[in-house]
Structure 1
Amino acid sequence: MTSTLFSPFELNSTLTLQNRILMAPLTRCMADENLVPTEQMAQYYARRADTGLIISEATIIRPDGQGYPNTPGLFNQAQVDGWKKVTTAVHNAGGKIFAQLWHVGRVAHPFFFGGGDVLSASNIGIEGSVPRMRDLSYQTPRAASVEEIAQLVADYAKAAKNAIAAGFDGVEIHGANGYLIDQFLHLASNNRSDEYGGSVQNMSRFALEVVDAVIAAIGSDRVALRLSPGAYFLMEGNHDDRAVFDHLLQALNSRSLAFVHIGIFDDSMTFDYLGGHASDYVRKYYKGTLVGVGGYTAETGAQAIAENRFDLVAVGRPMIANPDYISRVKNSEPLKEYEDSMLQALV
């Protein structure tokens, strides 16, 4: 069954993957104090270059997009130069790598960017504190103005250009998991009454503007999007969310993206307003290449691909524990079990 995973897969006329296994984006908080990727990160990614495609850890598009310590950026030349070392190492090892572009929205904290407002779709905050920095409590965000939204769109496009300059093969726009773009797509976090809220068209507008701006900057063949139609992380679900994603997914069908990637930690979860699993819901409406993720093994991922539930499978924590994941699966060797202690070092 797993042999299916090791055949090449053509994303489009410019990108062919050596296999159907992707390295999922994994936030490791290991950039330096200036959010510049390190030599250790270059070695970490290069060890996993035999995956079909590496999706980088989430990478912030501008300073006020930061909500976790030591997450890398793509908004200045030092960061671009740092990422060049990573992409060169991956390419020299025969791999391909996309940058995941990120703004956390209301999950940001002014501690990281020297003060100022936390921006979101609306002034609806979340409870809790910043991971790894429990003394920092989340702030109530301010709803971004229309002018600020336009600047955010431009900053996503600029970060995409920076990613290509840094040697990435493309970008994945992070529109999932309760972060900024996702905050516009769910009623629990978007109570706007202007052109970015209220109707399904308006709630989808920011996501589509970002997608279109990034496509204009680097070409649709190099652009992917991650989405969480089932609210589950940093977000409360609402039955009316479905109509927003019905509209958004069908609008994406005309964009010729490299792929859409489900944002879910565990795809065994079901959502009554989606009629079951998030991946099956997206498959119903989105006609392009789909990446499944969320607790799949090589065997269960291959089975899901055989059943046409999605086309590619992304692997997360097992890839942390096993830099040689591809080799182990190919040779039917046992995998090392992931442990939280593994987050303390890049191997």
Structure 2
Amino acid sequence: MTTLFDRYRLGELTLPNRVVMAPMSRVRAAAGGLATPSMAAYYAQRATAGLIVSEGVQPSLIGQSNPGTAGLHTDEQVAAWRPVTDAVHTNGGRIFAQIMHGGRVSHPDTTGLQPVGPSAVAAVGDVFTPNGPQPAPVPRALDTSEVPEHARSYGEAARRAVDAGFDGVELHGANGYLISQFLSSNANLRTDSYGGSVAHRIRFAVEAVAATVDAVGAARTGIRLSPGGTFWGVEETGIPELYAALLAELARFDLAYVHLEATADEEVLIGLRRAWPGALIMNPVVPMGPKQTDRTAADHWLGLGADLISFGRAFISNPDLVERLRTGVPIAPVDPDTYYQGGDAGYLTYPAYQHTA
């Protein structure tokens, strides 16, 4: 029987366990999208994870969603990430960079640019800006001729990620950001070769993956997906067919993994597990939902065929989460007020479990 603590071969990496630290925005980067020494300490504290997936990292200025996030589109940003990846590797860990293009989930106050998207349809809700939450603006619909350059930006950022010492990259194809917007049936109203039919709606995702594989190789490339997710107001029609078609196209690349969120019925997700021939990371709960991933949920999905299990919020407050899961000691609660407040409080201040005699 597979357990969370079995080794696993992922691409060119041997993971000491099957616990993955999920990508989580913590908005602690410095001006210019630069990673910081505190970020190096944060990730190094959690290096016992089989794999760490970083917070979302923008591949371009126009791809930046939130203020306070780091990028991978300048030489200075690459240099700033190197101490982070070095710290993780020194502590025996492995880390992928999540490449996240926000698309329409952005604001001119954050980037100085009008956001872009598949169509001129605003996201639902307020976006974060340097001046506080503001209604999501209407994005500029990308011309057909512009779309490929945004797909290529994932590959360009991936090349910089490897230069910065990351072991690989995860494309953020979930949660209402740009790839997810193209998959959507209400954010993507296009009538060209990037919209309408299933084959056209999956095209941008496939081109972004192809560009990344071309840049850094399939063994260093994964993608995160949220089938049926409704983040930022996206909707999808024909979810099983849409994602089966996408996975069939992605299977040609022999990727390191697909990372699924539990945003659809379990029956649908099991069908996608069966359809995907490669490694599967499963996030057993809806991100930012009422439940956190625990050992029971992890074991359940290992039994259903997942290869690795990602944990999000539990890793924020438990830098030693793998050992806590292994020994059954309590999981410390997290303080939501410190998720995005900046500074080291609620970032570097959660201790490892203290055993008492």
- The correspondence of residues 37-52 of structure 1 with structure 2, limited to 5 A, is 37-52=35-50
Q: 1:131, CA displacement in angstroms? A: 3.1
Give, in whole Å, the separation in 1 of the partners of 2:182 and 2:67: 24
Query: 1:173 aligns to what SS in structure 2?
Result: strand
Give, in whole Å, the separation in 1 of the partners of 2:166 and 2:79: 12
Q: 1:335, CA displacement in angstroms? A: 1.2
Give, in whole Å, the separation in 2 of the partners of 1:149 and 1:141: 14
Q: 1:53, CA displacement in angstroms? A: 0.3
Give, in whole Å, the separation in 2 of the partners of 1:250 and 1:59: 27
Give, in whole Å, the separation in 2 of the partners of 1:90 and 1:278: 35
Could you tell me whether the CA contact under 8 Å between 2:281 and 2:308 is conserved in 1? yes
Could you tell me whether the CA contact under 8 Å between 2:181 and 2:234 is conserved in 1? no
Which amino acid is the alignment partner of residue 341 of structure 1? D
- The correspondence of residues 324-339 of structure 1 with structure 2, limited to 5 A, is 324-339=320-335
Per-residue CA distance 1:267-322 (angstroms, 9 max, x = gap):
3x544xxxx455324213212111111232123202320232x1100000010011
Give, in whole Å, the separation in 1 of the partners of 2:173 and 2:239: 15
Match among 213, 216, 219 for residue 221 of structure 1: 219
Q: 1:35, CA displacement in angstroms? A: 1.1
Structure 1 residue runs of 5 or longer lacking an equivalent are none
Q: 1:167, CA displacement in angstroms? A: 0.2
TM-score by length of 1: 0.92
| 2:273 maps to 1:306 | no
The 10-residue stretch of structure 1 (134-143 or 83-92) with the greater mean CA deviation from structure 2 = 134-143
Query: 2:77 aligns to what SS in structure 1?
Result: helix
Q: Who is 1:187 aligned against?
A: 185
Q: Percent identity?
A: 39
Give, in whole Å, the separation in 2 of the partners of 1:158 and 1:108: 21
Match among 97, 100, 103 for residue 102 of structure 1: 100
Match among 228, 239, 255 for residue 230 of structure 1: 228
Query: 1:146 aligns to what SS in structure 2?
Result: coil
Q: Who is 1:153 aligned against?
A: 151
Q: Who is 1:282 aligned against?
A: 272
Give, in whole Å, the separation in 1 of the partners of 2:240 and 2:195: 15
Give, in whole Å, the separation in 2 of the partners of 1:314 and 1:99: 15
Q: Who is 2:4 aligned against?
A: 5
Q: Who is 1:121 aligned against?
A: 118
Q: Who is 1:21 aligned against?
A: 19
Q: 1:147, CA displacement in angstroms? A: 2.2
Give, in whole Å, the separation in 2 of the partners of 1:55 and 1:277: 26
Could you tell me whether the CA contact under 8 Å between 1:64 and 1:112 is conserved in 2? no
Give, in whole Å, the separation in 1 of the partners of 2:268 and 2:26: 25
Q: 1:11, CA displacement in angstroms? A: 1.4
Could you tell me whether the CA contact under 8 Å between 1:187 and 1:241 is conserved in 2? no
Which amino acid is the alignment partner of residue 296 of structure 2? E
Which amino acid is the alignment partner of residue 291 of structure 1? I
Per-residue CA distance 1:119-166 (angstroms, 9 max, x = gap):
101111123322365453211112111222121122111100000000
Which amino acid is the alignment partner of residue 292 of structure 1? M
Query: 1:49 aligns to what SS in structure 2?
Result: coil
Give, in whole Å, the separation in 1 of the partners of 2:239 and 2:9: 32
Could you tell me whether the CA contact under 8 Å between 1:124 and 1:189 is conserved in 2? yes
Per-residue CA distance 1:64-86 (angstroms, 9 max, x = gap):
11221101100001111111010
Give, in whole Å, the separation in 2 of the partners of 1:84 and 1:172: 18
Which amino acid is the alignment partner of residue 331 of structure 2? L
Query: 1:65 aligns to what SS in structure 2?
Result: coil
Task: Give the direction of change, closer, same or farther, for the CA distance of 1:296–1:278 in structure 2 (3 Å limit).
Answer: farther
Q: Who is 2:293 aligned against?
A: 296
Structure 2 residue runs of 5 or longer lacking an equivalent are 286-291, 349-357
Could you tell me whether the CA contact under 8 Å between 2:64 and 2:102 is conserved in 1? yes
Q: Who is 2:289 aligned against?
A: none
Query: 2:232 aligns to what SS in structure 1?
Result: coil
Query: 2:4 aligns to what SS in structure 1?
Result: helix
Task: Give the direction of change, closer, same or farther, for the CA distance of 1:174–1:135 in structure 2 (3 Å limit).
Answer: closer
The 10-residue stretch of structure 1 (32-41 or 142-151) with the greater mean CA deviation from structure 2 = 142-151
TM-score by length of 2: 0.89
Could you tell me whether the CA contact under 8 Å between 1:64 and 1:110 is conserved in 2? no
